[in-house]
Chains A and B, each alone.
Chain A
């Protein structure tokens, strides 16, 4: 992509093409990745954890922490037809979306199966930014077929983005001089002056949205690549007194599960990458029916989804509170303790250190939800394999939902 990526010996490195890309924050992130624990996301070298995954998770819940979201896909869709085109593609009615607002949504195939979920930022009257976990340019182009006044630009490699999550985040941003950040409501966007990029063309280069993937108070910071390291340094200088710490994939996965958020590859398969037609998922199955707006004009998958609405989904994603302390990873679910009648499977599970509960997300046959749910959990101890059958309780609310995540202004910590 650019100079940040280039290894000194690139010219003679026969493996250059195979090496992972580096994000704009890589120099700082690598210095703090004391465990050399790397993972990969969309071709980028990406931290699994930096020091200790549980410590990082606790920083998200107790102080503040940053998560490098440069590898996330970002598309600017603009032009007179942008709103109509996106509205035709996604399930929510974005004609209702106000300027400087963000909304969470999903988009489906004609068969009403989920392609991906993501967020849309309304950045101007005819200008939107769509973000999502997996590359979606081809689907956007396909969805744009027939629309004339439209431009779709893949900005994935051209915007530096950092999630900043945790109870002290608002205070840190305030101390950094982001005047008015405490008035920013959930899913709103504000722009701030930042750095020495010079006045003129772009006097407010820092975009902040009150969004995130942790279910806690938090923000996402968006900036041009040239200012990325300056942003990191400013954040860490101020954040030092507020417990700042980078967090990686492991901690993210813990936090999002407590918040009840779904993860591709865990809760759902992206429809375009699923071989077996019944192995992908519909928004109804994933508990995302609230993202479907049948009152708005036609959108992709509408007819199939209407049909499914009337019939009800075969499976439903639910939150489970499970007896005991053994995480129900990859457990099968049954309607009886004897484990004779299988009714579903666990998609993600963990012991929640903050809630002190054994939690899971699970796909359960909708018809079986009224009855008992038992999990058969396998676990090992010093090379001995054990299993136990434990009762599960359905939870309606997220496992972790502190009031501060919605409070405006948020508390100082």
Chain B
């Protein structure tokens, strides 16, 4: 297919006397860089083109105020495939992932639920709310770990095509069926229920305390245009607890130096493997000749040719904005147009002159090193979703806050801090007309007003704010509607349905064209899995040896 496999490294196209790359990858986000690194490792001559003047996409560190380094978009990490970290030697390229400590959840009436690192201490903390719920938490974690175990095994595997009769697909389907069947009949039903139910309903079976339910349910809505009561949110909850840090399932880590350290370290590995990254090189269009991808046209008019083209952009953007509709086979444009990628969240990054104090939280030097979840109650979170449905940002939003500078000495001046606030909900299209800088600032005001309620004096600490609505996220990072997952993680868009049924194996309807971003299996999150899976498929097509390692599971 496409490339002559006897050719190695660079070669020149005689007709145009222009360099032809073996592969061009569009978008220097972490998946694009991972994909490029594994192709380069196989000896391919690869180029990553990036529209911004910096790399990283949504896994990025940016100094927006002198001395403060924000993880502007993604801010924590638990799905990063350890095997890729190890295989690409990312530590040597500067990556250090540090697990962070407990989290405080805040209720509407000022009550707090602190989740501690130590299981026993945590049990005691839960008991203060409800002895029943303290017991039930063990069962919840056990059940979630069991469900997550199965999904986790699929992360670094290509989903089978259930309609195909190719031996490989049949084999993979059988594997998947075997894994599912191993759960047993009862669990199988539970599992299917799990995929379709709401986070709130799912948690109802475990807990009686609203704050505990709300705290646990918050993971079910992050990055998704669903409410805690919406069917499908239970799976999102699982998506957020299936990661691990050094085998600690459900643990979350922070990257030293911010999330950009992840992209930068992968770029370091890529460059060492001979790959090239070009910034300020946005793609205007993917070039197609005779139903084959042959290169890209950059926004500046430059034409670059390549044996294959890999898009790390989301599915909607790739097919509706970077391709000529006439180049696409029938139906693809519509599929892309209808791809569910609704923006639901905003981000407010705040530079602080000191560590904020929160009401109801002891002055415990470890507690402030974790997260702060302003959940309120299930009711408050559902009402927040109602606002989104009506084209408004939530007037009492759910905020997941982390203060990375509490443990990372590299991201703020000594004694100063920065706070990452992930805010839900915030629509990409407002009912009362387009986003304006004024509306953006009002959204930011809503967020800090809420935090001030829990931390009197908070506003006085603010040195600088970066407010990002879906509008800014789309404009800067290129994520359609600012959807952080490059497409929602609902069952209709998961596994062999991601991004579209029939195209879940990273190959796109145009020959020599692939996708490697979070729009593909296993979806959003800084995991590097999409990029690595795509590389494995590409190398198979090019009849090159596979360079992508197998996953490193703790479940055996």
A interface vs B, CB < 8 Å? 35, 51-52, 54-55, 58, 61-63, 167-168, 171, 175, 241-243, 324-325, 351, 353-357, 381, 386, 413
Contact = CB atoms under 8 A, between A and B. Distances in A.
B265 to A, nearest CB: 11
A356 B247 CA distance: 11
A62 B556 contact: no
Interface stretch (B93-101, B287-295, B298-306, B503-511): B93-101
B409 A167 contact: yes
B476 interface: no
A355 B96 CA distance: 8
Interface string B184-226: 0000000000000000000000000000000000000000000
B472 to A, nearest CB: 30
A126 B372 CA distance: 59
B256 A356 contact: no
6 contacts: A52-B366, A54-B246, A63-B409, A351-B247, A356-B86, A356-B246
Contacts of A241: 414-415
A356 B90 contact: yes
B510 to A, nearest CB: 37
A62 B98 contact: yes
Contacts of A351: 246-247
Contacts of B552: 324-325
Nearest to B96: A354
A167 B86 CA distance: 22
B91 A413 contact: no
B237 to A, nearest CB: 24
Contacts of A175: 414
- By Cβ-Cβ distance, the 8 closest A-B pairs, closest first, are A241-B414, A241-B415, A413-B409, A356-B86, A356-B85, A353-B246, A58-B98, A168-B409
A62 B96 contact: yes
Contacts of B285: none
Contacts of B99: 54-55, 58, 353
B321 interface: no
Contacts of A355: 91
B86 A61 contact: no
Contacts of B97: 353, 356
B82 A62 contact: no
Contact of A35 (B91, B96, B118, B409): B118
Nearest to A57: B98
Interface in B91-112: 91, 96-99, 101
B554 A62 contact: no
Given A52-B101, A355-B91, A62 B246 contact: no
B163 to A, nearest CB: 36
Interface string B403-414: 000011110001
B486 to A, nearest CB: 26
A386 B556 contact: yes
Given A351-B247, A381-B556, A356 B409 contact: no
Given A52-B117, A356-B91, A413-B410, A62 B256 contact: yes
A381 B553 CA distance: 13
A412 to B, nearest CB: 8
Contact of A62 (B85, B101, B409): B409
Contacts of A167: 409
A357 B552 CA distance: 11
Interface in B106-140: 117-118
A52 B99 CA distance: 11
A353 B82 CA distance: 10
Given A61-B96, A353-B97, 8 more contacts: A52-B366, A58-B99, A63-B407, A167-B409, A325-B247, A353-B99, A355-B91, A356-B82
A242 B409 contact: yes
Contacts, number: 62
Contacts of B407: 58, 62-63, 243
A51 B408 contact: no
A243 B101 CA distance: 14
A168 B99 CA distance: 19
Contacts of A52: 101, 117-118, 366
B118 A357 contact: no
Main SS of chain B's interface residues?
Answer: loop
A413 B247 CA distance: 28
A167 to B, nearest CB: 7
Interface in B371-428: 407-410, 414-415
A308 B366 CA distance: 52
Contacts of A356: 82, 85-86, 90-91, 97, 246
A55 to B, nearest CB: 7
Contacts of B409: 62-63, 167-168, 242-243, 413
Contacts of B118: 35, 52
Interface string B468-488: 000000000000000000000
B82 A325 contact: yes
Given A51-B366, A356-B82, A62 B408 contact: yes
Interface string B514-549: 000000000000000000000000000000000000
Residue of B82, B98, B247, B256 with most chain A CB atoms under a 10 A cut-off: B98
Contacts of B101: 52, 55
Contacts of A353: 97, 99, 245-246
Contacts of A35: 118
Given A62-B408, A243-B407, A243-B409, A357 B86 contact: yes
B532 to A, nearest CB: 15
Nearest to B417: A241
A346 B5 CA distance: 44
Nearest to B95: A356
A97 B374 CA distance: 60
Contacts of B245: 353
Nearest to A172: B414
Nearest to A168: B409
A200 B534 CA distance: 72
Nearest to A167: B409
Contacts of B91: 354-356
A162 B86 CA distance: 34
Nearest to B407: A243
Nearest to A54: B99
A133 B82 CA distance: 36
Contacts of A381: 556
A95 to B, nearest CB: 39
A243 B366 CA distance: 10
Nearest to B410: A413
B405 to A, nearest CB: 10
A250 to B, nearest CB: 14
Nearest to A321: B86
Nearest to B245: A353
Contacts of A58: 98-99, 407
A58 B98 CA distance: 7
A55 B102 CA distance: 12
Nearest to A64: B409
Interface in B316-368: 366
A1 to B, nearest CB: 31
A381 B86 CA distance: 24
A381 B145 CA distance: 14
B418 to A, nearest CB: 14
Residue of A35, A61, A413 with most chain B CB atoms under a 10 A cut-off: A413
A325 B81 CA distance: 13
A61 B409 CA distance: 11
B301 to A, nearest CB: 43
A413 B412 CA distance: 12
A336 B295 CA distance: 49
A51 B370 CA distance: 14
A381 B247 CA distance: 13
Contacts of B98: 58, 61-62
Given A168-B409, A324-B552, A386-B556, A242 B414 contact: yes
Nearest to A245: B365
A61 B407 CA distance: 11
B278 to A, nearest CB: 29
Interface string B134-162: 00000000000000000000000000000
